[in-house]
Structure 1
Amino acid sequence: MLKLKNTPMPVQRILFVILLYIIPVSLIAQVHVTGKTTDSEKKIVSSATITITLNEKVITSAVSDEQGNFTIQLSDVTSHNYILHATHVGYREKMVLIIVPKAGNEVRLGNVVLDKESKELAAVSITGKENIYEQKADRFVFNVEKSLEATGSNGWDAISKTPGIQSNGNTISIIGKSGITVMVNDRKVQLSGDELFAYLSAIPTENIAAIEVISNPGARYDAAGNSGIINIRLKKNKNEGLVLIGTGTYEQRTSGTYTGNISYNYRKKWLTLYGFINGGQRITQPVEHQQIYYPASLWASENAKHITRNYSSVQLGADFTLSNKDVLTVLTERNLTSKTKEDHNSLTNITGLSNYKTDSLIETGNHINRDLNYTNIDLTYKHMLDGKGSNILLTGDYLQYTTDQDQALSSVTYAPPASDHRFNTASYAAQTITNYTGRLDLEKQISKGLSFTTGLRTSFTTTDNNYLFYRGYDQGPLIEDPNQSNHFNYQENVQAAYASVNKTGKRINFVAGLRAEYTDITGELVDQHEINKQHYLKLFPSLNYQQILNQNSKLTITYGRRINRPSFSDLNPFKYYINQYNYSEGNPALRPSYSNNAEVTYTYKEKYSIAAYALLTNNFFQQIPFIDVTRNTAYFTRQNLGKIDAYGIHSYAPFRITPAWSVNSTLYLFYYSMKLPYLNEMLDYGQFTFYGYLNNQFTISAKKNLTAEINFNYQSLSQIFLYRYRPNGYVDAGVKWSFAKKQATLAMNVYDLFKTYPQQQVVNFATQHYTFKNAYESRYLRLTFTYRFGKQTVKDRKASKTGNSEEFNRANN
């Protein structure tokens, strides 16, 4: 027992005050919240999910027992106001304000009464009140699940239909910018080109909640991607129960194709399971038109392709809630089948420019078979350090990606008189990419409105590329060409560390961060005994500053420095032949490009926004044409070019014209400029370009759940380096009917009604004169039927930050 009677009076009072302070704090530090979940008739509601939040952050959660009773412990209590959320299938969410007493260590809520939903409402998949598009402080959000246009499609198509995103063949970019990173749940997809297309095409839109376009990511994100990140956010079940969604889609182009998908979400107490299995066949028949001007002749080619792709894939994910503070996530993705067969038939007409008569013809048949396999495994462990939002995130990832491709080309030149000859090639390419990634992130709440985040990331990637090339002439046999066959090994190790500070206040919020990345690269041409090494350490600062101007307005300023590393295929030196006079190849000597990206955004009423940006890129690289006028050959390679600048403004505005007609408008006006010596001349250009996208949504009959969409897209003349792109655009239209208490949906969409979307490239500089148009089948009809089993609300998945997200996008650019 503490004795005070012999202590001088002033000290007695001080100790007494200290005791009065310490005792209540020690009691409140561990507070138990108890209650019982019942319905309005006082019947027990068991297995209800109980979640407690503070400032919209989840602090802890539990599940009521068979008698409806629950007990939740709050540790390190720092606020007197918490929110308790009680949810259960078939009932409306109940929110209760928890006021922690100044004395005592228990809060007794008594009965927490849940009101039943109507039968129709309980059967509907509720996704919240978000608009189809949202402009947030640091990103533009396309809520895919609310889009009629995206119904029955896949991840690739959904990205292509995102306002401000441009797709051309198998490449995607942000309008007015170059260099983009694609992520799924904050995990960078280490693929690009045909392989990125195949991977994203395997993700059904029924599993996608939203697509986020982030122009200036913070220090926590990988620094890759000059112009920012496209992040696909997947759905996840919020409440207990099972949801199954079955989708069947038929598409009519020149040929008919089909896809089928079954996705599932299941949650029971501490276990959540989710994923999908899908498969289908896609047949496309694009036609490429190419014209190459030599000093004495014009080579005009038409290449008709017939591409058949059969695919199936599976995703299996599980979240294990080990305790109120610990969650373990396991996610695996694997394709079951991905086989592509391409048949190309090309005819080249060579016309003399002096007499405009046909000198000769080249007829080429090109047959390609490609088999793709990938396995991706992600492990994520999250531990809550306290009740303030502090946590540790640990991830480990493994990726293996393989492709096997064989190509047989036969090209016959008909040149009178009697000088016909045949050029034959066969090639076999095998590629294996393996990646291991580990990541550790720490988020610490320092005080109210102030947090600190830091982390480490390590990534080890190896690629093994084996290429055998055979050639023959006329009726002779195919003989291996040692100058073309090769073995290319590539190793890339990236070690990164970052730190950022987040401060939120009443009028000013900001996030300031710094990321350091050390890259160690070794590229080896085995047969030539050539080794190319690169080592560099680079810093990447970032800033997001937001000021609340008044009740309706705010101003946001962002800045970030980023890197764009060449993809693995950009570095691969093997040649891909179109005919004996036309081929493409990679460049193992490529260096990364660096950019500084700044943007200022004004937002009004959280709906309307206008922004101005500047993107300054050094060491810019891309595929470029080389037309050899002395040998009448043309080839495409990759090369670092120099400095390219982009400036622009863009705006977003939603409008409601009538109660049944709403419009979402996205507009861009940007300017590209570049000045550098090229081919012994000075390339100096500047080009203004306009881009506009209008999304029109109509409610035809609210009673019959019948809606429609009409979307307009247009881009004016644009130029990047040598390539000038002629104006293009499209008009899409669709109608959707929901029935069977909204569990069934039938949708019909028609894309590119007037067949105006395919782009045409023009090169006209020095001795380089070239035009190209890919008349791919952009106009097609899609019919989709979807049926939802289960009566659960499905919300978007909160992304677990997985580690090899960066490697899974560059595997084949």
Structure 2
Amino acid sequence: MTPVSKAIDEVVIQSRPRNIKLNDGNRIMTVAGNKDFKTSTHILEVLRKTPGVTVDPEDGIFIGGRISPAIFVDGKPLVMSPQEIQAYLRSLSPEMVESIEVNTNPSSRYDAEFKGIIDIRLKKNGNLGWKGAYNGNVSVNRFNYRENSINGSYNTEKIVYQMQFGYNDGISTYRYNALQRLANTNVMRTNTYQIDEGKAYTAQAGIDYRLNDKNRIGVNLRGNFRNNDRMRTGSLYTTNKDESQLVFNTGSENPTDYRQDNYGITTDYSFNNKNFKLNFLGNYLLVSNKQKDDFTNKDLPTSQLLSYWKSDLFNKINIYAAQIDASQKVKNANFEMGIKYSDTRTTNNIRYDTLSVNNQFVFDPTRSNMFSYKEQILAGYLAYSQKFDKFQINAGIRVENTKSISNAVSSDSIVSRNYLKWLPSFSINYTFNKSNELSLSYSRKITRPVFSQLNPFRFYFSPLNYWIGNPYLQPSFTSQIKGTYRYKNWIASLAIGKESDVMVRYPRYDPKTNVLEYLGTNLPYRNFANLEISFPLKITKWWNVSTQLVGYYNYEFRPYLDEVFAMKIYNYEVRLNQVFSLPGGYTVNLFANYESKTGNSLYIIKPRYTVDLSIQKSWFENRLNTKISYNNIFDSYDQRLVFRHKQIIDNQFTHWWDSQRLLLAVSYNFGGSKYQGKEIQRSEEEIRAR
């Protein structure tokens, strides 16, 4: 008998993929399978721990300082209201997301208003059949808040069906406290407490149809519906200068009934043929807001009613957008061009009725307002990119024509604008080797005022405190240069720029009525810079630390009243994300964030910090995932501001949100996907993000 020899035909050695990569100078963070994010409940919590990203207590997302980024999913922008975007991000667990790319200097290929982009790449399901996931959590403070979502998909050889449903409900709280020394030397303390009981329903359904290897079409329908019943109570407690004698003590109540309905449709089509690509994307968004308020103000010692007014608000927003992008690859060069048209129409009608001396409500024309805003943007771009050995060059030019009309019907004020702007971009990337790469980029961006900044009617915080929009605001323009260097998993980036016609709010105090109002205006300019460094440290096999260091510089030239204030502001932020991999499959995460003293030419913002502790465990072959978190352990993440120039306004105030919470979360993956289907052709952007 001849023995049969067995040989190994091939040995494949795969190194562990990096959790951090660069794409044209932009950070790409791996999410699914990344230990840094295993204890995160949803993508909003992942973003809090992502280098270069800040999430405030109201779930507002910022990058590069105070830039509100556009949120993309799989390379496409989310045309949603801010509340709907937050709800959608809470419905995504870390296990559902492949990667997150943070782009702080977008090229001319993107809308000029996108000063920053966060692109979330979802994990692709290549298996045929169906699969789904449930994500739920409850956060416990004085009150409870519950979030639930279920996602499902069914794959065939040609069609992918997707569905998502969500339901959130609960109570959140907010406090506002202020101390102001009035012009007549009296001391006034403002205290506001708000309880917000809300419910939100979301539904989404989509279909992605691969006609053949070259053509693909998709349609997505969605709805988001929320109800909020808010009760805001407040008091104004005023004494004489040495606080020995009471001057007045008033209390206010402001119950609000708020409803918002969102409807959206997205259609997209792509054609790929060898080196040519064509894409179409269409979006429609309808947002309807209704709000009813009561404002009562009483003298607390005598219970005498001082004032009483009601408001009835209706707001409707329609957004239509369509864009076509085409690209052609010629050897190592790639040429792109595209055109986009968007149409935004917003109407707003708020009516105030005030209780008169004869105990009847009378229409109040001084507060009531009808306002409409129409904006049309036609944009086009040309882009070129080419690789020369270790060099990658990208250049582009974008032109945008904006037409807008704002009409304050009540004050008979119409503002019409029509302007054309050219916005270039350029970047160069050099790869020394697998461990070292350098990127330099330049871009010019435009920021148009949003509806709430233009609308000239009052949003009340208290009977003596409100802010009001300015229909004459001009758009601002930002020019920025950014450099990024990567050594292995260490990344450092420096951005320097200048913004002209900066849109800000400023306070104006009336010493006769003691009313403090916040108005909108354009500053001549501001200079800014920020330096970001992030690096991981492996202390032991079971202890990993990710460190982020960010330094900011801001100089704004601010005319205010009869003076000009110009200050150089320096501040920094430090984040430590520690992950402990313990026996039994438990993962413990300790996250700490410190923000130094900062501010602007008018305000000092005091330092603040937060510490979060969480633990995670998977069960049943990772199908069931459980997490327990204690967020903001020391209740230390409130925001405290002090007005710098006490000869104008001697004022300080604090915003507090109930972010100190115990959170219990569970996610479960289910489904019957069993066999692999054909690989669906991916776009260039999807390939780069893998």
Normalised by the size of structure 1, how large is the TM-score? 0.77
Whichever residue aligns with residue 741 of structure 1, its letter is E
Pairwise mapping of residues 356-755 of structure 1 onto structure 2 (< 5 A)?
356-386=244-274, 388=275, 390-414=276-300, 420-447=304-331, 449-472=332-355, 476-605=359-488, 607-701=489-583, 704-755=584-635
Query: Which residue of the partner structure matches residue 98 of structure 1?
Result: none
| Counterpart residue identity of residue 547, structure 1 | Y
Q: Does structure 1 retain, via aligned residues, the 8 Å contact 2:25–2:483?
A: no
Query: Given the superposition, is the C-alpha separation of residues 138 and 240 from structure 1 closer, same or farther in structure 2, using an over 3 Å criterion?
Result: farther
Alpha-carbon distance in 1 for matches of 2:66, 2:656: 24
Q: Which structure 2 residues correspond to residues 250-289 of structure 1 after superposition, within 5 A? A: 250-289=138-177
Task: Pick from 342, 347, 361 the counterpart of residue 235 of structure 2.
Answer: 347
Structure 1 counterpart of 2:25: 138
Deviations 1:296-344 (A, max 9, x none): 2222111111111101101212210001100101112211x31011101
Q: CA deviation at 1:257?
A: 2.1
| CA 1:743–1:191: 2 relative to 1, 3 Å | closer
Q: Match of 1:569, SS?
A: helix
- Distance in 2 between the 1:635 and 1:403 partners? 24
CA distance 1:644–1:190, shift in 2 (3 Å): farther
The structure, 1 or 2, with the larger RCO (C-alpha pairs under 8 Å, 6+ apart) is 1
330 and 152 in structure 1: CA distance in 2 versus 1, 3 angstrom threshold: farther
| 1:106 corresponds to | none
Is the Cα contact below 8 Å between 1:736 and 1:747 reproduced in 2? Answer: yes
Q: What residue identity is the alignment partner of 2:180?
A: I
Task: Give distance in 1, aligned partners of 2:189 and 2:83.
Answer: 26
Q: Tell me the alpha carbon deviations over residues 632-669 of structure 1, each in whole angstroms, 9 at most, x when there is no partner.
A: 11012222122111112111112211111112111111
Deviations 1:34-66 (A, max 9, x none): xxxxxxxxxxxxxxxxxxxxxxxxxxxxxxxxx
- Following superposition, the deviation at residue 349 of structure 1 comes to 0.9
In structure 2, what is the equivalent of residue 786 of structure 1? 667
Q: Equivalent residues in 2 for 1:759-798 (5 A)?
A: 759-765=639-645, 766-790=647-671
Q: For the residues of structure 2 that align with 1:718 and 1:692, how far apart are their CA atoms? A: 14
Deviation at 1:526, TM superposition (A): 2.1
- The structural deviation recorded for 1:190 is 5.0
**1:142, CA displacement in angstroms?**
4.0
* SS across alignment from 2:124: strand
Letter in structure 2 aligned against 1:684: A
Distance of aligned partners of 1:368 and 1:148 in 2 relative to their CA distance in 1, 3 Å threshold: farther
Which residue in the other structure is 1:65 paired with?
none
1:325 maps to 2:214? yes
CA distance in 2, matches of 1:473, 1:318: 57
Partner residue, 2:122: 234
Aligned partners of 1:527 and 1:308: how far apart in 2?
33
Q: Are residues 177 and 487 of structure 1, via their aligned partners in 2, closer, same or farther at CA, if it must alter by over 3 Å? A: closer
Task: Quote the Cα distance in structure 2 between the aligned partners of 1:164 and 1:454.
Answer: 30
- Summarize the Cα distance change of 1:677–1:359 in structure 2 as closer, same or farther, 3 Å threshold: same
Structure 1 residues 203, 345: closer, same or farther in 2, change over 3 A?
A: farther
1:654–1:205 CA distance, 2 compared to 1 (3 A)? closer
Residue 639 to residue 208, structure 1, CA distance change in 2 (3 Å): farther
Q: Relative to 1, partners in 2 of residues 1:164 and 1:797: Cα closer, same or farther, differing over 3 Å?
A: farther
Aligned-pair CA distance for 1:528:
3.1
Q: CA deviation at 1:694?
A: 1.4
Structure 1 residue 355: deviation in Å? 5.0
Aligned-pair Cα RMSD in Å: 2.8
Distance 1:233 1:426 in 2: 46
Contact 2:543/2:581, CA 8 A, preserved across alignment: yes
Superposed CA deviations along residues 492-530 of structure 1, whole A, max 9, x for unmatched, are: 000000011111132100111111110000011223332
Q: What is the CA distance between 1:421 and its match in structure 2?
A: 4.5
Matches of 1:217 and 1:498, distance apart in 2: 13
Q: Please say if residues 290 and 770 of structure 1, whose CA atoms lie closer than 8 Å, have aligned partners that are also in contact.
A: yes
Structure 1 residues 638 and 201: alpha-carbon distance in aligned structure 2, compared to 1, 3 A threshold: farther
Change in CA separation of 1:209 and 1:352 when aligned onto 2, cut-off 3 Å: farther
Please list the CA deviations of residues 381-427 of structure 1 after superposition, one character each: whole Å capped at 9, or x if unmatched.
100122x3x20001222111111111111111358xx7954211111
Aligned to 2:3: none
Distance 1:267 1:237, change over 3 A: same
Q: Structure 2: how far apart are the matches of 1:428 and 1:466?
A: 8
Structure 2 counterpart SS, 1:240:
strand
CA distance in 1, matches of 2:603, 2:299: 29
Which one-letter code corresponds to 1:686 in the other structure? K
**Aligned counterparts of 2:216 and 2:153: Cα–Cα separation in 1:** 17
- Choose 1 or 2 for highest CA Rg: 1
Sort the Cα spacing of 1:592 and 1:190 in 2 relative to 1 into closer, same or farther, 3 A: farther
Alpha-carbon shift at residue 572 of structure 1 (Å): 1.3
Deviation at 1:241, TM superposition (A): 2.5
Partner of 1:211: 100
Please name the residue that 1:70 is paired with: none
Do 2:296 and 2:305's aligned partners in 1 also have CA atoms closer than 8 Å? no
- Within 2, Cα distance between the matches of 1:498 and 1:187? 17
Q: Is 2:49–2:577's contact at 8 Å kept on the other side of the alignment?
A: no
Correspondences of 1:99-248 after superposition (within 5 Å): 133-145=20-32, 146=34, 153-170=41-58, 171-189=60-78, 197=86, 200-201=89-90, 207-226=96-115, 228-248=116-136
Question: Would the alpha carbon gap of residues 361 and 339 (structure 1) be closer, same or farther in structure 2, given more than 3 Å must change?
Answer: same
Cα separation, 1, equivalents of 2:35 and 2:118: 18
Task: Give the residue type in structure 2 aligned to 1:531.
Answer: I
Cα distance in 2 for residues equivalent to 1:787 and 1:691: 36
Unaligned runs of 5+ in 1: 1-94, 96-127, 802-813
SS of residue matched to 2:411: coil
The residue correspondences of 1:293-308 to structure 2 (distance < 5 A) are 293-295=181-183, 296-308=185-197
Partner of 1:91: none
Point out the more displaced range, 166-175 or 303-312. 166-175
> 1:22 — aligned with what?
none
Alpha carbons 2:405, 2:414 under 8 Å: kept: yes
What secondary structure sits across from 1:285 in the alignment?
A: strand
Offset of 1:275 from its aligned partner?
Answer: 3.3
How far the C-alpha of 1:284 sits from its partner, in A, is 0.9
SS at match of 1:570: helix
- Shift of residue 150 of structure 1? 7.3
Code of the residue aligned with 1:393 in structure 2: it is N
Q: Which amino acid aligns with 1:405?
A: Q
Aligned residue identity for 1:223: A
AA partner of residue 384 (structure 1) = N
Letter aligned with residue 131 of structure 2:
V
**1:276 aligns to what SS in structure 2?**
strand
Q: What is the rounded CA distance, in whole Å, between the counterparts of 1:419 and 1:777 in structure 2?
A: 31
Structure 1: how far apart are the matches of 2:28 and 2:210? 29
Structure-1 separation of matches of 2:93 and 2:624: 17
User: 1:363: how far off?
Assistant: 0.3
* Structure 1 residues 631 and 191: CA distance shift in structure 2, 3 A: farther
> Percent identity over the alignment?
23
Residues 575-584 or 246-255, more deviating: 575-584
Distance 2:86 2:418 in 1: 31
